[in-house]
Chain A
């Protein structure tokens, strides 16, 4: 099992390979850790406001992670 977070200023839905995996932040504003299988994934953020984050998507190999120090897949969400 692999673990990652998507830091950015906004709260947005995390899409893994096009499928919604829930929000990138929890109710208290902390980063939510998302689980996925090891390998190449396309990660994107989608905001309810419709405003875009950059990059539009990140193709990233997610492997060798753990729940204590999840991988960071970074976005800029102005």
Chain B
């Protein structure tokens, strides 16, 4: 009988369906009580910085493998940058990196470095950059076992992606593994996603998870990276659980910041309101998409840290403690600029083009604003500092008996934003600007992006000037980009 012969297969299918129907995303664990000296926090991971050394903060943008390779190239170049410190010792600038804040594709690079700093440069290209991640994801997507799992409302494509990243790149490691590293060995990692319910940046730090009364230590790094690179439509939002049981009070700035009458800064009110929302009674879950939707450069967190004492890893607080002599912020921005030919004809662009603009246009705008805000803040701080110095100089001339005004701004600010737009060779610039956003790029393209990052850093006037202030004898090295490589990627 056909039915009898099909019986075992049918039984298997039913079992798979039942098993699949029970599939569930990995639940982030509950935190019984908040401890400011435990969990993945800046103050736990890093010792108090020394004001004698530069405080280097890196921002890695989104952009799939293109962004991962570009940020990897920046790390390679930083490894080569050596300077003479005030005490006469030679140091690598890479060893002064305190914080890496990353988004989407850049989060693969930052997380792998934080996890495996000793083997990062040798292993990461083969484990991620040269790998066809897209085909790996597609194989899993077309695996019938996963179809049954997708039947569950608590398991989606992003949970499948997380499993793949965990198995192939991050070896199932968790934030507890990052905490196991000796204090100060690796930079503090800030992985950024977007909380779509409140359209606000969401970072994977214990300070953020305190708001959810959840223990970040038990969360896999692949889950955080999946959330950070959770591109809309391609994947469904990633879910985290919010625990209603009280685990401890909110940081004081949140209640203070929510006072609409007495806070002139609307951004502070928005940040405080967003943080407070996790403790509201009806907030049971968080749904996350790509960090690029709220900040595609990974610069919004650093900007809050530099401009406020509210940030859990406030750099302004460290400046108040005289621990930040020179702040160097470097942004690896793998933004592309695609050529548009729509305006040459009357017919409007197709739905694909419109979707592309709808998704990427606002992200590019936010990125532009982020760069302007960081640059503007640093310029303002330099002006304020100069004003105090000029005032003292004038007083010395015209009122020598007046006491000198102590200058509270003792930090030297350097901001360097690396972008393909600054490549002088038009052929190479256009070629890089038109690269696709995907998790699979040819080896030569990856190598070209690595070289481009080194070239842009060494040709960044802001970076070179900052290094000269750090060590007047420092010289930027020439970084040639192989013509053969350019030909191979961009055509002759």
Contact = CB atoms under 8 A, between A and B. Distances in A.
A67 to B, nearest CB: 5
Contacts of B268: 37-39
Nearest to B307: A37
B314 A67 contact: no
B316 A36 contact: yes
B367 to A, nearest CB: 23
Interface string B353-371: 0000000000000000000
A45 B410 CA distance: 23
B388 A22 contact: no
Nearest to A59: B256
B384 A66 contact: yes
Contacts of A17: 251-253, 256, 309-310
A35 B262 contact: no
Given A36-B308, A59-B256, A66-B384, A30 B406 contact: yes
Contacts of B253: 17-18, 41
Interface stretch (B116-124, B154-162, B183-191, B319-327): B319-327
B381 A1 contact: yes
A33 interface: yes
Contact of B319 (A19, A31, A35): A35
Question: A interface, by DSSP: helix, strand, loop or mixed?
Answer: strand
B404 to A, nearest CB: 9
B50 interface: no
Interface of A: 1, 3, 14, 16-22, 26, 30-42, 59, 61, 63, 66-68, 70
Contact of B406 (A33, A37, A38, A42): A33
Contacts, number: 94
A32 B457 CA distance: 37
Interface residues of B, number: 34
Interface string B368-405: 00000000000011001101100100000000000001
Given A22-B322, A40-B263, A59-B256, A16 B309 contact: yes
- The residue among A22, A34, A67 with the most chain B CB atoms within 10 A of its own CB is A67
Contacts of A66: 384, 387
A64 to B, nearest CB: 9
Contacts of A41: 253, 256, 309
B257 interface: yes
Contact of A35 (B263, B388, B408): B408
B409 interface: yes
B307 A18 contact: no
B59 to A, nearest CB: 20
Given A1-B380, A17-B253, A39 B406 contact: no
B384 A67 contact: yes
Contacts of A3: 408
Contacts of B388: 67-68
Nearest to B409: A67
A20 B317 CA distance: 8
Given A22-B322, A34-B320, A42-B252, A68 B405 contact: yes
Nearest to A21: B320
B128 to A, nearest CB: 37
Given A21-B317, A66-B384, A67-B384, A34 B408 contact: yes
A31 B321 CA distance: 14
A16 B388 CA distance: 24
B352 interface: no
Interface in B242-258: 251-253, 256-257
Given A1-B307, A37-B265, 6 more contacts: A19-B309, A22-B321, A36-B309, A37-B268, A39-B268, A70-B408
B256 A37 contact: no
A60 to B, nearest CB: 9
A42 B262 CA distance: 12
Given A22-B322, A41-B256, A67 B387 contact: yes
Nearest to A28: B406
A42 B259 CA distance: 13
Contacts of B310: 17, 37
B8 interface: no
A61 B262 contact: yes
B257 A39 contact: yes
B309 A68 contact: no
